[in-house]
Structure 1
Amino acid sequence: MKGKASRWWMIVFVVLLPLTVTPLYADNDQGHGAEKNARRYTLSIRSQTVEQSLRSLASVSSKQLLFPYDQIETRATITLVGRYTLHEALAIILDGTDLSGELTSEGVILITPRQKSSDFERGDNAMNSKKKLLAATVGFLMGAGGSSVLAQDMADKQEEKAWVLEEILVTATKREQDLADVPISIVALSGETIDSRGMQTVSDLSLAVPNLSVTSAGGGNRFYYMRGVGNGNGVAPLVGTYFDEVPVSVTGAQPDIRTIDLERVEVLRGPQGTLFGQGSVGGTIRFITKNPEFNNISGHFGLSTYNTKKGDWSEEVTGVLNIPVIDDTLAFRIATSYENKSGWIDQIDKSDVILAEDINSSEGSNTRIKGLWQVTDKMRVSAMVVRHRNKSGGPNFVLHSADGRFTAEDGVMRSAADPNMPFGYDDEHDIFNITATYDFGYSVLTAIASKVDTYNLSDNETIFLTVPDGGVLEVARIGVVDETEIVSQEIRLSSAADEATTLEWTVGVFLADSELKNQHANVFRDFSIFGLGVLEGGPKLPEINSSDTIALFGDVSYGINDKWTVGMGSRVFRDDRSILTMDDGLMLEEEFDNVSSKVYLSFAATDNANIHFSVSEGFRSGGFNPPSDSAAGAPPSYEPEELLTYELGTKASWLNNTFITEVAFYYSEFTNFQGAVLDPSTSLTAFKNSGEAEIKGFEWDLRWAMNENITFMLNGNFTDGEFTSIPQGTVQQKRVGSSLDNIPEYSYTLAADYQYDWFDSARGFVRVDYNTQGPNTVTVHNAGIIPEVGESKVLTILNGHVGVNWTSFSIELFGNNLLDEDDGLSNWAFVGRETQYRRRSYGVKFDYDF
């Protein structure tokens, strides 16, 4: 553990920063009033009616829109792609019409008929001015006006540009910024893109996001890996997950977050410890939900059904309802889904006779209720409740035996010890959140309170351990329960979004209390290879890991000139942890602390190209070995593990923003790696800080809107991670040169989107996604089991969608995993099982918007 004395400078920095930057910010704001009217917006408005184009412009610029409802033209505008001021964009959209546009002093885009000379000759000027303003106002009141929304709302509705992500405004730095201006490697997927690609979970997202991989057995039994980071040991995650403002990842396993009715998903690659805290070592995934709308009742209904190879038919239903209660003041939004999914894995006995079919079939529901209250012009409050329930006949595990008798392709599973014992898996989580914001003008205050509860029950956790002479030790843990609870609060103050200022900052404090409880009913061990038969162990009472966390954080950036921006951030973290084992009543307590920092530099090489460089730190808190092992000689605790990453990246747009390139190179040093170590002096295997590793690689993202109908995307990554140092005097599962576990050597995705006018009121579409994931390895030296090194095969996933959109209704035919990839996601033959993608599925989907 590190001393605290040297950390006080950061506490002073966090406390004093808002006091020192506020007057500077205020001075800056006064000198740039004229510049605001000349702001340029990144636009990608396809050829459509004048009214639709004006709506899109209003959405992007976050301006209200007034126009003469009875005089707006239905003629098509030209495609508008690039960076424009409002004046330039209005001139292009209204070119050839009898309308003119202006931005009023109140910040409203006003569209009026051009005045004809005959009007003046008749003396009708004053009357016409009143009429056009009245018509514009009526048009606004009838729902024709724009509102303050993210630029993404426009991008979401332009399916042919769904992969052109540069336009999206994101909040990855806890301040609203254009995606292209954020000095980190980030992927942002709009809600429209997620829906059109049929993405439901992070496992689906990983097929579209380079350097994000997932191992999942279904439900809440899933682990995320990003940029080579995802150590499954320890009691905290290495990839952070946020649902709106709520941190939902409290353990190494992640909850089953669903993507229904999202505004967007942001995937932040590389350490994010300064703003998102411990657990965001490899990166952070942020799910941003849609807010309720104040002034219109609207909704969505979706129905899909599909058939899975070796399984049966599945059904899924989704519904969204937006309910305004008080105009411009109070509204609620309900998003819900129900699924009845067929499995495809069969349970067999020791004679390979099928005992039960499709044991991983599942039934579940997910419901979210979100309310938004605009208390005053400056203050708003949102509240959210999420309830997730999923019950499965078993996880997505298939047999993969070390002797090759069974592989993932066989699609079968057997229970250890007693083959008749059933499998089963229950996954539940509840999320509660209230967030309040207040706009002071020069800064925005945000206060967040949240609570997350998770519950996972595994009826039968089976593993098969093969010893070197070929015998197999079978172990089944029955009734394994994991329960977590995390209560968190965050208060932060951020500079207001304003392109005129050169200084931006965020400071805040974060507090969290969390508890992880683990227990099981029985353990069966088949020691027949040793002549002992099946031995039964009694129930294990709860083992409780508790954490009381406080962190102070701050981030500030300064625009030196119109080319260069420099920034830094830091986070002071303290974690009071304890572990209590109810079986023996033993308890351990310890305090862990850490400071993680980040410095970054951004250079605007041209108006359309940025280069960024950063040095950032990430960390995961320390933890404990069971007190009984400590009493027998194992170390009572292990220290936090840390990651130091150097990143150089560039983001550029070409050909009027129709071709976008993003590339990032990174090098990371992983220290105090938390791993399992055998101590020869005590013959105990315990968790220790077991070595150092290095990770290097690069990732790319290329997107090309060839025309208004066709879009291509090619992205991918190469990652190389290996151990560079192992402590002496211990027997390690890893060696110098061993690869980091479960990290694909490479991956790439090729996607194409083609849209066409089928007939006047319908637009057809064809979408194809092709993903390849390279091999990854798992290493377990000196554990007395084989194989010591397992390498997975190359995985290839092909998905396709074809359908047609009417004004409010769409129908599509889809196929997932069309090549029927049946290999395991990782080679876990040393435990006799691995996870598998859903087999080839064909189906049909109906959507209705109102």
Structure 2
Amino acid sequence: MSDLKKDGLCRSASLLIVGAGLLLTSAAHGSEGEAADAAGPTGSDIVVTSLRRDSTLQDAPAAITALGAQDLVRKGVADFHDYYRSVPSLQITDNPVSPGASRISLRGIWAAGESTVGLYYGDTPVTGPAGSTADAGQQMPNLNLFDVGRVEVLRGPQGTLYGSGSVGGTIRVLFVQPDATKFGGHVEAEGSATHGGDASGYLRGALNIPLVENTLALRVVGGVQEIGGYVDNVAVGRKNANSGSVSGGRAILAWTPSPNFSLTGTAVYQESQQDSNSAWYQRLGSKAYRTDGALLVPYEDKFKLFSATANWTLPFGKLTATSSWYKWDIVRNVDVTAGFQTVASLGLFCQAYSASVTPCTPAQQANYRTYINNSLPAAFHQPLGLETQTHELRLASPGGGVVDWTVGLFYEKRDDYIDSYTSVGDSATGELIDPRVVYNGYSTGETNLKQFSQFAEVSVRPIEKLTLTGGLRHYDYEKRSSGQVLESNYVYGSFAGPATGVKTADNGWVGKVNLAYEFSRSVMGYVQWAQGFRPGGVNRISATNLPSSLLVYGSDAVDSYEGGLKASFGGGRYTFNGAVFQIDWVDIQSTLNWPPAFRIVANAGQARIRGLELEGTARPFPGFTLEGGLSYIPEAKLTRGQADGAAVTPTAQTGIKGDRLPYTARFNGTAAVQYDWRLNDRLGAFARADIAYRGGVANEFRPTYNVYERLPAFTEVNVRVGVETEGWGLHLFVKNLTNAVGAVNVQSTLTPLDPGRLERQLGTIRPRTVGADVSYRF
């Protein structure tokens, strides 16, 4: 990305110029008013489908936040990081060391292992590869959200309708669908500058093409984006080292031969790359965004997805069948130079390296240090990825009757892989040396998951205004993990040996009961008990001293108890939604450090989470909108220690009863104010401000643990103004107006082998960014 560093500002300006040209060209062909269709309804009028049948947001007896197309445009949403702070209790923690790694959590359910939040693109559930640490939830595909019709966030476990991995909730991203009645599209270009960093910009477009009137249509979307860096690597003299790029597109073909049948096929492709990670050290300046890491650690990924969905309306219900296949290939690098230096000084595996039956002599220790120093600077080079297919068949009653029901079947097959070895870098430039040379510690492994489930949900209305819903899901999964160390690593203690494989399996039931009552046409209350689960797995590490009791870990599960109230007044101009909840979490899948420097997942401890969520919208007069939301989680603590009754040896890291869950803030709040007005008959304008407050969190259970850190609270302010006609728009924006250092993740040491070395390696939100975008719809 050296070209970006040299020409970032010119490229961003070029994108705006090209975009403006496209707008003028499109304007010459006239506008068909696609803007009104894309904007869609807002507030209580939004129709959501997350409960597997259509209902308005206020009529759904569940805690749901829905962002329509207009909301996404007004907020300037491009990906997860642009909208998650608008949703109560939704948290994204980016790994500061590994680019592309992000963990999503809801209501304080934050843990290693399988994902705790189900992420769906359309009808396809997606997750990341297990990697070398059995931690599939640490990496979630972050697809571009251009030309998205709606994002729905269901808070609380969704085990019956959505299955494994939805213990904290479910997020559904719904793309704009083809329209067989008219030709249209839109293009958008943006350029921006980040405080202390390089310029950024993108160019995106969508085109809707009717192929057969009222029957067959194609919608294609594409775009390119260049992301300017803002973290300087002072060790190798590289400014804005974390620059990157994203490109890709999607195509959706929709066939509706009759009012009762439709078939939709979707293809998505996206590739991303980043020159180095975004971690930085405050010891080099509290707001300096600097690192002195020995290496640049590039990252790249390629994601492709194909899916088909058929809907057939029958006299007795609607039959929906979905099949999906996706493949995600990733290449990541982790700088381990400091860790290798620590091991060299300790001589930890000198005896094994020297093949000696007695402690190393001074000469052997010197040879061992030479062996390690010859690999410096060093990085773990890790190609990894997965290939997944999912299939679901469900049948739902027409709805609106005394009894409504949904039944279905679900199948998933996931195969992931990882290769890992030490690669040598150039100390002068920080670049990894090509071609990659395996210096030591070459290992390979794979994980295979199969799961099959059946589910049913029934709603009964015994009397007017009262709805009783019950749901069940039976799950049955099998997970296999295998691997082999092909070349020994005498630094961290993994030794060559034969291939090994371990299998685990489980089955069981999860349930849900929901009681909803309509007090009036505008006020509804509900109470709910719901369960969720995550599949267990197998630790695939190369440590020779891992006991058999920790090779396999089992499922964990939650029981959630929730009460909610939804109200709207003044014809929908005022809405208020609130929920209180308690979540009991058992057999938590937790990350534990295993000596000398491995990470494993183990079932360790139980927890209880109690909290409150509030959301509201007010439109007191035309053009003015006020939005607000908050989550308050005063209690999120272990009710049983990680080592209590578990096969875990207590250490300084091990959480004990009463410790608060990591990355779970007591208070998060968001507020937004927007005003729309007319400048003349053709031209409208708007101004909007979004304010998000994130409470302080800790990164570990134990306050006495040497890497325990508390991340302070921060407030992020985004401002956006614009002028628009029916066809075109020009928007100016400032993100992170106050230039707040918003820390969302921290790693406090470079290696567990050096307990006194506190580095406070931060992952933070982007510094203040000022920019403009232009768009045109035709």
Q: The TM-score by the shorter chain falls in which range?
A: 0.7 to 0.9
* Closer, same or farther: CA 262–677 of 1 in aligned 2, 3 Å: closer
Tell whether 2:192 aligns with 1:306. Answer: yes
Is residue 438 from structure 1 mapped to residue 333 from structure 2 by the alignment?
A: no
CA shift, 1:741, in A, is 1.2
Does 2:300 correspond to 1:426? yes
Cα distance change, pair 782–839 in 1 and its aligned pair in 2 (3 A) = closer
Q: SS of the counterpart of 1:646?
A: strand
- Max Rg structure: 1
Cα deviations by residue, 1:464-483 (Å, 9 ceiling, x for unpaired)? 67999xx9999954322220
Aligned twin of 2:7: none
CA contact (8 A) 2:122 2:173 kept: yes
Cα distance, 1:538 vs structure 2: 1.3
Aligned to 1:35: none
Instruction: Choose which of 511, 520, 526 in structure 2 pairs with 1:612.
Output: 526
1:846 equivalent to 2:774? Answer: yes
Q: Residues of 1 paired with 2:145 and 2:164: CA distance?
A: 24
Among 381, 404, 408, which residue is 1:504 paired with? 404
Give yes or no for contact 1:339–1:364 (8 Å, CA) kept in 2.
yes
Correspondence 1:244 to 2:122: yes
User: For 1:83-162, what aligned pairs fall within 5 Å after superposition?
Assistant: 156-157=39-40, 162=42
Distance 2:477 2:74 in 1: 42
Match of 2:274 in 1: 392
1:462–1:321 Cα change, 3 Å: farther
Partner secondary structure for residue 85 of structure 2: coil
Question: Whole-Å Cα distance in 2 between the matches of residues 830 and 556 of structure 1?
Answer: 51
Contact 1:755-1:764 at 8 Å conserved across structures: yes
Which of residues 394, 419, 444 in structure 2 aligns to 1:519? 419
Distance 1:219 1:594, change over 3 A: farther
Cα distance in structure 2, aligned partners of 1:623 and 1:438:
37
Q: Give 2:686's aligned residue.
A: 765
Instruction: Please list, as runs of the form range in 1=range in 2, the aligned pairs for 1:796-807 lying within 5 A after superposition.
Output: 796-807=715-726
**What secondary structure is seen at the aligned counterpart in 1 of 2:161?**
helix
Instruction: Measure, in 2, the Cα distance between the counterparts of 1:816 and 1:606.
Output: 41
Q: Which moved more, 1:685-694 or 1:375-384?
A: 685-694
Contact 1:465 1:786 (C-alpha < 8 Å) held by counterparts: no
Does the CA-based 8 Å contact 2:108-2:609 persist in structure 1? yes
Measured in 2, the distance between the counterparts of 1:225 and 1:634 equals 30
Describe the shift of the 1:363–1:293 C-alpha distance in structure 2 as closer, same or farther (beyond 3 A): same
The code of the aligned residue for 2:744 comes to L
Q: How far does residue 272 in structure 1 lie from its aligned partner after superposition?
A: 0.5
Contact map agreement 1:485 1:515 (CA 8 A) in 2: yes
Q: Deviations over 1:629-651 (max 9, x none)?
A: 58752422111011111000000
Does structure 2 conserve the Cα–Cα contact (< 8 Å) formed by 1:588 and 1:627? no
Which amino acid letter does the alignment assign opposite residue 348 of structure 1? V
> Match of 2:712, as an amino acid?
K
TM-superposed deviation, 1:177: 1.4
Question: 2:291 aligned with 1:456, yes or no?
Answer: no
Matched, 1:810 2:729: yes
Partner of 1:366: 248
Aligned-residue offset at 1:443 = 0.3
Equivalent positions of 1:182-221 (< 5 A) are 182-217=60-95, 220-221=100-101
Show CA shifts across 1:456-500 (max 9, x none).
Answer: 2123345867999xx999995432222011111111111124x3x
- Give the match for residue 95 of structure 1: none
Counterpart residue identity of residue 699, structure 1:
E
Q: For the Cα contact (< 8 Å) 2:280–2:289, is it kept in 1?
A: yes
Matches within 5 A, 1:576-655: 576-583=478-485, 584-626=498-540, 629=543, 632-635=546-549, 636-655=551-570
* Inter-CA distance 628–355: structure 2 relative to 1 (3 Å threshold): closer
1:684-695 correspondence to structure 2 within 5 Å: 686-695=600-609
- Structure 1 residue 742 and structure 2 residue 663: aligned? yes
Report the secondary structure of 1:553's partner residue. strand
Match of 1:495 among 394, 397, 406: 397
**1:704: Cα distance to partner?**
0.1
Q: State the partner residue of 2:589.
A: 674
CA contact 1:776–1:826 (8 Å) conserved in 2? no
- Relative distance call for 1:153 and 1:843 in structure 2 (3 A) is closer
1:63-92: CA deviation from partner (whole Å, max 9, x where unpaired): xxxxxxxxxxxxxxxxxxxxxxxxxxxxxx
SS at match of 1:195: helix
Aligned to 1:567: 469
Change (3 A) 1:826 1:683: closer
Q: List per-residue Cα deviations over 1:594-653 (Å, max 9, x = no partner).
A: 311111100101110000110000110011123755875242211101111100000001
- Which residue does 1:228 correspond to in 2? 108
Inter-partner Cα distance in structure 2 for 1:422 and 1:269: 38
What residue identity is the alignment partner of 1:553? F
TM-score under structure 1 length normalisation: 0.75
Q: 1:736 to 1:284 in 2, by over 3 A?
A: same
2 CA distance for matches of 1:628 and 1:750?
Answer: 48
Shift of 1:407: 6.2
Deviation at 1:554, TM superposition (A): 0.9
Shift of 1:764: 0.9
Q: Residue 147 of structure 2 corresponds to which residue in structure 1? A: 261
Whether the 8 Å CA contact 1:722–1:738 is kept in 2: the answer is yes
Alpha-carbon deviation of 1:684? 8.9
Contact 2:606 2:638 in 1 (8 A): yes
Corresponding residue for residue 764 of structure 2: 836
What is the CA–CA distance in structure 2 between the aligned matches of 1:836 and 1:377, rounded to whole Å? 50
Which of 618, 623, 639 does residue 724 from structure 1 map onto?
639
Partner Cα separation in structure 1 for residue 377 and residue 668 of structure 2: 34
CA contact (8 A) 2:661 2:701 kept: no
Q: TM-score, normalised by structure 2?
A: 0.81
Given the superposition, is the C-alpha separation of residues 651 and 314 from structure 1 closer, same or farther in structure 2, using an over 3 Å criterion? same
SS at match of 1:207: helix
One-letter amino acid of the counterpart of residue 665, structure 1: V
Shift of 1:452: 1.4
The answer for the alignment partner of 1:529 in structure 2 is none
> Aligned partners of 1:431 and 1:219: how far apart in 2?
21
Compute the displacement of 1:257 (Å): 2.1
Contact 1:408 1:836 in 2 (8 A): no
Alpha-carbon distance in structure 1 between the residues aligned to 2:173 and 2:604 = 34
Look up the equivalent residue of 1:607 and give its one-letter code: R
Partner of 1:8: none
What residue is the counterpart of 2:227 in the other structure? 341
For structure 2, the residue ranges without an aligned partner over 5 or more in a row are 1-30, 129-135, 349-375, 426-437, 486-497, 751-758
Judging changes above 3 Å, is the alpha-carbon distance between structure 1 residues 438 and 630 closer, same or farther for their aligned structure 2 residues?
farther
Contact 1:265 1:286 in 2 (8 A): yes
User: RMSD across aligned C-alpha pairs, in angstroms?
Assistant: 2.9
Q: Distance in 1 between matches of 2:749 and 2:281?
A: 11
Unaligned runs of 5+ in 1: 1-142, 147-151, 526-535
Distance 1:518 1:490 in 2: 28
Alpha-carbon distance in structure 2 between the residues aligned to 1:157 and 1:579:
46
- Counterpart CA distance in 1 for 2:447 and 2:675 is 51
Change beyond 3 A, Cα 1:475–1:517 = farther
Shift of 1:539: 4.1
Give the match for residue 101 of structure 1.
Answer: none
1:790 equivalent to 2:736? Answer no
Distance 2:290 2:188 in 1: 33
Partner of 1:556 in structure 2? 458
Take 1:261 and 1:155, find their aligned partners in 2: how far apart are those partners? 8
Q: More displaced, 633-642 or 709-718?
A: 633-642
Q: 8 Å contact 2:100–2:299 — kept in the other structure?
A: no
SS in 1 for 2:73: helix
Distance 1:678 1:362 in 2: 31
SS at match of 1:579: strand
Instruction: Check whether the contact 1:677–1:731 (CA below 8 A) recurs between aligned residues.
Output: no
